A and B are shown apart, each in its own frame.
Chain A
Amino acid sequence: MTDRMALIVFSGTVDKLTAAATIASGGVAMGMDVELFFTYWGLNALRKDMMKTNTRFSKDFEEMGPMMAQVMKARKVPAWYELLAKAKEAGNLKIHACSQTYDLMGMKKEDLSEMVDDVLGVAMFIEAASEAKISLFI
Protein backbone atom coordinates (compact mmCIF):
# COMPACT_ATOMS: atom_id res chain seq x y z
CA MET A 1 0.00 0.00 0.00
CA THR A 2 1.14 3.51 -0.77
CA ASP A 3 2.39 5.55 2.19
CA ARG A 4 0.07 8.28 3.31
CA MET A 5 0.50 11.76 4.78
CA ALA A 6 -2.36 13.52 6.56
CA LEU A 7 -2.18 17.22 7.39
CA ILE A 8 -4.58 19.47 9.20
CA VAL A 9 -4.18 22.98 7.81
CA PHE A 10 -5.63 25.26 10.47
CA SER A 11 -3.56 28.40 9.85
CA GLY A 12 -4.54 31.05 7.35
CA THR A 13 -1.29 33.00 7.23
CA VAL A 14 0.84 32.86 4.11
CA ASP A 15 3.95 31.66 5.95
CA LYS A 16 2.25 28.62 7.48
CA LEU A 17 0.25 27.89 4.33
CA THR A 18 3.55 27.88 2.40
CA ALA A 19 5.07 25.46 4.92
CA ALA A 20 2.03 23.16 4.63
CA ALA A 21 2.07 23.31 0.82
CA THR A 22 5.83 22.62 0.70
CA ILE A 23 5.51 19.56 2.95
CA ALA A 24 2.49 18.35 0.97
CA SER A 25 4.26 18.68 -2.39
CA GLY A 26 7.32 16.97 -0.91
CA GLY A 27 5.03 14.10 0.09
CA VAL A 28 3.68 13.85 -3.45
CA ALA A 29 7.20 13.96 -4.89
CA MET A 30 8.17 11.10 -2.57
CA GLY A 31 5.29 9.05 -3.90
CA MET A 32 2.93 9.40 -0.93
CA ASP A 33 -0.82 9.83 -0.97
CA VAL A 34 -1.47 13.20 0.65
CA GLU A 35 -4.70 14.11 2.45
CA LEU A 36 -5.09 17.75 3.43
CA PHE A 37 -7.87 18.78 5.78
CA PHE A 38 -8.40 22.51 5.70
CA THR A 39 -10.16 23.90 8.75
CA TYR A 40 -10.81 27.32 10.32
CA TRP A 41 -8.43 29.98 8.98
CA GLY A 42 -6.85 27.48 6.64
CA LEU A 43 -10.18 26.82 4.97
CA ASN A 44 -10.96 30.53 5.02
CA ALA A 45 -7.75 31.06 3.00
CA LEU A 46 -9.17 28.78 0.28
CA ARG A 47 -12.00 31.18 -0.42
CA LYS A 48 -11.79 32.25 -4.07
CA ASP A 49 -11.99 35.95 -3.13
CA MET A 50 -9.24 35.53 -0.52
CA MET A 51 -6.76 33.07 -1.96
CA LYS A 52 -4.62 35.33 -4.14
CA THR A 53 -4.92 38.55 -2.16
CA ASN A 54 -4.09 37.11 1.25
CA THR A 55 -0.94 38.74 2.70
CA ARG A 56 -1.50 37.80 6.34
CA PHE A 57 1.60 36.66 8.18
CA SER A 58 2.12 35.02 11.58
CA LYS A 59 1.49 37.61 14.29
CA ASP A 60 4.78 37.00 16.12
CA PHE A 61 6.79 37.95 13.00
CA GLU A 62 4.24 40.16 11.34
CA GLU A 63 6.67 43.00 10.61
CA MET A 64 8.73 40.63 8.44
CA GLY A 65 5.80 39.72 6.20
CA PRO A 66 6.41 42.21 3.37
CA MET A 67 10.15 41.47 3.32
CA MET A 68 9.56 37.70 3.23
CA ALA A 69 7.00 38.11 0.46
CA GLN A 70 9.61 39.94 -1.63
CA VAL A 71 12.34 37.38 -0.97
CA MET A 72 10.02 34.47 -1.76
CA LYS A 73 9.12 36.10 -5.04
CA ALA A 74 12.80 36.73 -5.88
CA ARG A 75 13.64 33.09 -5.07
CA LYS A 76 10.75 31.94 -7.24
CA VAL A 77 9.01 30.09 -4.42
CA PRO A 78 5.57 29.50 -5.94
CA ALA A 79 2.59 30.81 -4.00
CA TRP A 80 1.21 28.19 -1.61
CA TYR A 81 -1.88 27.63 -3.76
CA GLU A 82 0.27 27.22 -6.87
CA LEU A 83 2.36 24.61 -5.05
CA LEU A 84 -0.81 22.76 -4.13
CA ALA A 85 -2.20 22.96 -7.66
CA LYS A 86 1.06 21.55 -9.07
CA ALA A 87 1.19 18.80 -6.46
CA LYS A 88 -2.40 17.88 -7.28
CA GLU A 89 -1.48 17.49 -10.95
CA ALA A 90 1.66 15.52 -10.15
CA GLY A 91 0.26 12.90 -7.81
CA ASN A 92 -2.45 11.82 -5.43
CA LEU A 93 -3.27 14.85 -3.28
CA LYS A 94 -6.74 15.52 -1.94
CA ILE A 95 -8.01 18.72 -0.41
CA HIS A 96 -10.86 18.30 2.05
CA ALA A 97 -12.88 21.10 3.62
CA CYS A 98 -13.83 20.71 7.28
CA SER A 99 -17.60 20.55 7.51
CA GLN A 100 -17.75 22.38 10.84
CA THR A 101 -15.89 25.43 9.51
CA TYR A 102 -17.84 25.21 6.28
CA ASP A 103 -21.03 25.40 8.31
CA LEU A 104 -19.89 28.03 10.86
CA MET A 105 -18.61 30.37 8.17
CA GLY A 106 -21.68 29.88 6.01
CA MET A 107 -19.63 28.72 3.02
CA LYS A 108 -20.92 27.44 -0.28
CA LYS A 109 -19.09 25.19 -2.72
CA GLU A 110 -18.77 28.03 -5.20
CA ASP A 111 -17.08 30.24 -2.59
CA LEU A 112 -14.15 27.86 -2.38
CA SER A 113 -11.26 27.15 -4.72
CA GLU A 114 -11.83 24.45 -7.33
CA MET A 115 -8.94 22.59 -5.72
CA VAL A 116 -11.26 21.56 -2.88
CA ASP A 117 -12.37 17.98 -3.51
CA ASP A 118 -15.09 17.59 -0.89
CA VAL A 119 -16.47 18.59 2.50
CA LEU A 120 -15.78 16.07 5.26
CA GLY A 121 -16.24 15.58 8.99
CA VAL A 122 -13.62 14.84 11.63
CA ALA A 123 -14.11 11.08 11.60
CA MET A 124 -12.86 10.95 8.02
CA PHE A 125 -9.69 12.74 9.08
CA ILE A 126 -9.18 10.37 12.02
CA GLU A 127 -9.56 7.42 9.67
CA ALA A 128 -7.09 8.89 7.17
CA ALA A 129 -4.61 9.96 9.87
CA SER A 130 -4.70 6.67 11.77
CA GLU A 131 -3.29 4.93 8.70
CA ALA A 132 -0.86 7.73 7.85
CA LYS A 133 2.90 7.56 8.31
CA ILE A 134 3.08 11.33 8.74
CA SER A 135 0.40 13.42 10.39
CA LEU A 136 0.77 17.10 11.21
CA PHE A 137 -1.27 20.03 12.46
CA ILE A 138 -0.20 23.29 10.86
Chain B
Amino acid sequence: MDPIDLGAIKSEKVVDARGTSCPGPLLETKKAITGVSVGGILETLSSDEGTRQDIPAWARKMGHEFLGFIAEPGYDRLFVKRLK
Protein backbone atom coordinates (compact mmCIF):
# COMPACT_ATOMS: atom_id res chain seq x y z
CA MET B 1 0.00 0.00 0.00
CA ASP B 2 1.29 3.44 -0.85
CA PRO B 3 1.95 5.69 2.11
CA ILE B 4 -0.92 8.09 2.61
CA ASP B 5 -0.23 11.79 2.42
CA LEU B 6 -1.98 12.70 5.65
CA GLY B 7 -1.44 16.40 5.08
CA ALA B 8 -3.56 16.22 1.91
CA ILE B 9 -6.49 14.48 3.60
CA LYS B 10 -9.85 16.18 3.48
CA SER B 11 -11.52 15.24 6.75
CA GLU B 12 -15.26 14.97 6.67
CA LYS B 13 -15.44 15.89 10.33
CA VAL B 14 -13.02 17.25 12.92
CA VAL B 15 -13.49 16.65 16.61
CA ASP B 16 -11.42 18.83 18.92
CA ALA B 17 -10.66 16.92 22.14
CA ARG B 18 -7.58 18.95 23.03
CA GLY B 19 -7.18 19.69 26.72
CA THR B 20 -9.07 16.59 27.80
CA SER B 21 -7.33 13.60 29.39
CA CYS B 22 -7.93 9.92 28.72
CA PRO B 23 -10.58 8.65 28.05
CA GLY B 24 -11.89 11.99 26.65
CA PRO B 25 -10.42 11.86 23.12
CA LEU B 26 -11.36 8.18 22.67
CA LEU B 27 -14.95 8.77 23.78
CA GLU B 28 -15.23 11.85 21.56
CA THR B 29 -13.94 9.83 18.61
CA LYS B 30 -16.36 6.99 19.26
CA LYS B 31 -19.23 9.45 19.43
CA ALA B 32 -18.18 11.39 16.34
CA ILE B 33 -17.63 8.42 13.99
CA THR B 34 -21.35 7.90 13.57
CA GLY B 35 -21.57 11.42 12.13
CA VAL B 36 -19.19 10.51 9.30
CA SER B 37 -20.33 8.64 6.20
CA VAL B 38 -18.91 5.18 5.47
CA GLY B 39 -15.65 5.75 3.61
CA GLY B 40 -15.34 9.23 5.11
CA ILE B 41 -12.52 10.39 7.32
CA LEU B 42 -12.78 11.57 10.90
CA GLU B 43 -10.02 13.71 12.31
CA THR B 44 -9.49 13.88 16.07
CA LEU B 45 -7.38 16.57 17.69
CA SER B 46 -5.85 15.34 20.95
CA SER B 47 -3.20 16.54 23.38
CA ASP B 48 -3.38 13.30 25.38
CA GLU B 49 -0.27 11.14 24.94
CA GLY B 50 -2.20 7.85 25.08
CA THR B 51 -4.47 8.69 22.15
CA ARG B 52 -1.81 7.69 19.58
CA GLN B 53 -2.23 4.09 20.73
CA ASP B 54 -5.85 4.23 21.88
CA ILE B 55 -7.44 5.30 18.61
CA PRO B 56 -5.59 2.69 16.48
CA ALA B 57 -6.59 -0.03 19.01
CA TRP B 58 -10.18 1.16 18.96
CA ALA B 59 -10.23 1.33 15.14
CA ARG B 60 -8.89 -2.26 14.87
CA LYS B 61 -11.52 -3.49 17.28
CA MET B 62 -14.40 -1.63 15.63
CA GLY B 63 -13.33 -2.45 12.08
CA HIS B 64 -12.32 1.05 10.97
CA GLU B 65 -9.00 2.05 9.44
CA PHE B 66 -6.51 4.17 11.32
CA LEU B 67 -4.63 6.17 8.72
CA GLY B 68 -2.01 7.74 10.98
CA PHE B 69 -1.38 10.99 12.76
CA ILE B 70 0.36 14.29 12.26
CA ALA B 71 2.18 15.70 15.29
CA GLU B 72 1.53 19.41 15.67
CA PRO B 73 3.07 21.51 18.45
CA GLY B 74 1.31 20.39 21.63
CA TYR B 75 -1.22 18.08 20.01
CA ASP B 76 -1.79 15.41 17.37
CA ARG B 77 -4.17 15.21 14.42
CA LEU B 78 -5.34 11.60 14.16
CA PHE B 79 -7.17 10.24 11.12
CA VAL B 80 -9.66 7.38 11.05
CA LYS B 81 -11.52 6.15 7.97
CA ARG B 82 -14.98 4.83 8.76
CA LEU B 83 -15.34 1.45 7.09
CA LYS B 84 -18.77 0.34 8.27
Contacts and interface: CB of A to CB of B under 8 A. Distances in A.
Answer yes or no: are A and B bound together in one complex.
yes
A72 B31 CA distance: 22
B23 A25 contact: yes
B58 interface: yes
A132 interface: no
B27 A86 contact: yes
B23 A22 contact: yes
B63 to A, nearest CB: 9
A77 B24 contact: yes
Interface string B12-47: 000000011111101100110000000000000000
Given A25-B27, A26-B26, A90-B31, A31 B61 contact: yes
A75 interface: yes
Contact of B21 (A26, A75, A87, A90): A75
B62 interface: yes
A120 interface: no
Contacts of B27: 25, 29, 86-87, 90
**Chain B: interface secondary structure?**
helix
Interface residues of B, number: 14
A31 B62 contact: yes
Nearest to A74: B19
A23 to B, nearest CB: 9
B26 A76 contact: no
Interface string B46-77: 00000000000110011000000000000000
Given A26-B26, A87-B27, 14 more contacts: A22-B23, A25-B27, A29-B26, A29-B58, A72-B21, A75-B19, A75-B21, A76-B19, A76-B21, A77-B20, A77-B24, A86-B27, A90-B27, A90-B31
